[in-house]
Amino acid sequence: MIELEDVSYQINGKWLVQDINLTIKNGLLWGFVGPNGAGKSTLLRLISGELIPTTGEISFFGKPINSYEPKELARLRAYLQQKRDINFPFTALEVVLFGRYPYLNGTKETTSDIAIAKKALRNVEADAFTYRLYQTLSGGEASRIDVARILAQSPGLFLLDEPTNHLDPRHQLQILNLCKNICDEGKTVITAIHDLNLASMYADQLLMLKDGVSVACGSPKSVLTQKMLTETYNISFNIIPHPNGYPWVMPCTKNF
């Protein structure tokens, strides 16, 4: 379980996140949605422990996040950043093996670590790239390798910042189905996502942010309403009920 109590973050006199209170239980897929600059990435970085709240406290599994040693924290949570650049000639397999670092204690990867990494590559349908140089991959192919890396890390909490960026529709669905499978195992996934329809289809719970403030929190049906979307994104929307029960969100072309 992850708990955020009155969490705020300020930099250079500007509040990027303000007064966030949240309890995230195991086994759920959470989506953070909102316009550019709403605070989604900042909130993920705070939950990951990369940033320290200006005010408030974040707890993992009953302990303050700052009470964990770095390697201990890395075994509990994995964080996939939005911007992911690797400038050295590593193969895809070597990049995925970075996820095993918290378990190595200064030793070389074992055959077990390599097997875990190769399984992660298969899970994202990227095993054909195992020995390809990461720098030679397309944006979508590299994104799948990055997801495989955090799978190999084997945490209980996955923090994903725009994991479907650069992916074609098939692989977007594949990654999000994988996220649902992770949650079915009792683990937790939190993802910042711009595609409101993918969020509607896959998320159990949504947190909608605007200017660093929580404006709505709950099920996709309760959050993705015409009124709330219009107020948050400053454009009008049509909401169409999908046959599977979730709201289908369509921006109105008359906005422009």
CA 89 to each of CA 131, 137, 177, 231: distance values in angstroms, whole numbers, following the listed order: 11, 12, 31, 46
Q: Are 250 and 238 in contact (CB under 8 A)?
A: yes
Q: Over its length of 256 residues, how does the chain's per-residue pLDDT go in tens digits?
A: 899 999 999 999 999 999 999 999 999 999 999 999 999 999 999 999 999 999 999 998 889 998 999 889 999 999 998 766 677 789 999 999 999 999 987 788 899 999 999 999 999 989 999 999 988 998 888 888 999 999 999 999 999 999 988 889 999 999 999 999 999 999 999 999 999 999 999 999 999 999 999 999 999 999 999 999 999 999 999 999 888 888 999 988 776 5
Q: Please indicate, yes or no, if residue 213 is contained in any of the structural domains.
A: yes
CATH number of domain containing 222: 3.40.50.300
The model's pTM: 0.92
Q: For position 255, what pLDDT does the model report?
A: 65
Q: For position 143, what pLDDT does the model report?
A: 87
Q: Please indicate, yes or no, if residue 24 is contained in any of the structural domains.
A: yes
Q: Please indicate, yes or no, if residue 48 is contained in any of the structural domains.
A: yes
Residue 118: alpha-carbon gap to chain centroid: 22
- Dump pLDDT digits (tens) for 78-113: 999 876 667 778 999 999 999 999 998 778 889 999
Q: Please indicate, yes or no, if residue 133 is contained in any of the structural domains.
A: no
Q: Which domain holds residue 35?
A: 2-83+157-255
Look at the chain and report how many structural domains it folds into.
1
Which residue do the tokens 């509040």 mark? Answer: 15
Residue 145, exposed/middle/buried by CB under 10 A (0-12, 13-18, 19+)?
buried
Q: Are 206 and 31 in contact (CB under 8 A)?
A: yes
Q: Please indicate, yes or no, if residue 130 is contained in any of the structural domains.
A: no
Q: For position 118, what pLDDT does the model report?
A: 96
Q: Please indicate, yes or no, if residue 108 is contained in any of the structural domains.
A: no
